[in-house]
Amino acid sequence: MRRQLLLLLVGNICGYLMISWAPVITPFVWANFITDFTFHPLRSFLAMVCFFLGFVANAAVIRTFFEETLCLFVRQSVRWREWGMSVLLLPSFYWLFQLNARLTLLFFFFSVTYGMISIDLADGRRYNKWW
């Protein structure tokens, strides 16, 4: 449970820092976006690092959510505290969405995709009866 809480915290903080360090260009022009990334290399690098760390942390939380939900459907034992902690990811994404919708959607897409890819159904530890 502490691991889930730490992952939630890291994902939320990294998402906020990524959004605050990424260039905001309205209306969006690709050349201006690349130019801003080029002229502010440290800020751009830190935004990319925060993006990577944040989406990996959120992906681990999303993986836990889907694994526990799968255990619920196949009538296996469910770790309710971890499942409940993983549900707290939704308000985090809502808060980030209020800050910057485009970057948050990109962040959410990468997190969900990597979280779904990292589920190991062949492990057979807990949901063996489903297959």
DSSP letter assigned to residue 55: H
User: Which pTM value belongs to this model?
Assistant: 0.81
Give residue 18's pLDDT: 94
Distance CA 98, CA 115 (A): 23
Q: Please give the pLDDT value at position 78.
A: 73
Residue 108 confidence (pLDDT) = 93
Q: What pLDDT score was predicted for residue 126?
A: 54
- Alpha-helix residue ranges (DSSP H) falling in the chain: 2-21, 30-39, 41-73, 80-87, 89-99, 101-117
Give me the pLDDT at residue 121, please: 67
Encode burial over 93-126: b for 16+ CB neighbours within 10 A, e otherwise: beebbeebeebbeebbebbbebbeeeeeeeeeeb
Domain boundaries, given as residue ranges, for the chain: 2-123
Q: Does residue 83 contact residue 64 with C-beta atoms inside 8 Å?
A: yes
Q: In tens digits, what is the pLDDT along the chain, a chain of 131 residues?
A: 788 889 999 999 999 999 999 887 778 788 888 888 888 889 989 999 999 999 999 999 998 888 878 777 777 777 777 777 888 888 889 999 999 888 899 999 999 999 888 887 665 555 444 44
Query: Residue 124: left if φ>0, alpha if ψ -120 to 50, beta else—which one?
Result: left
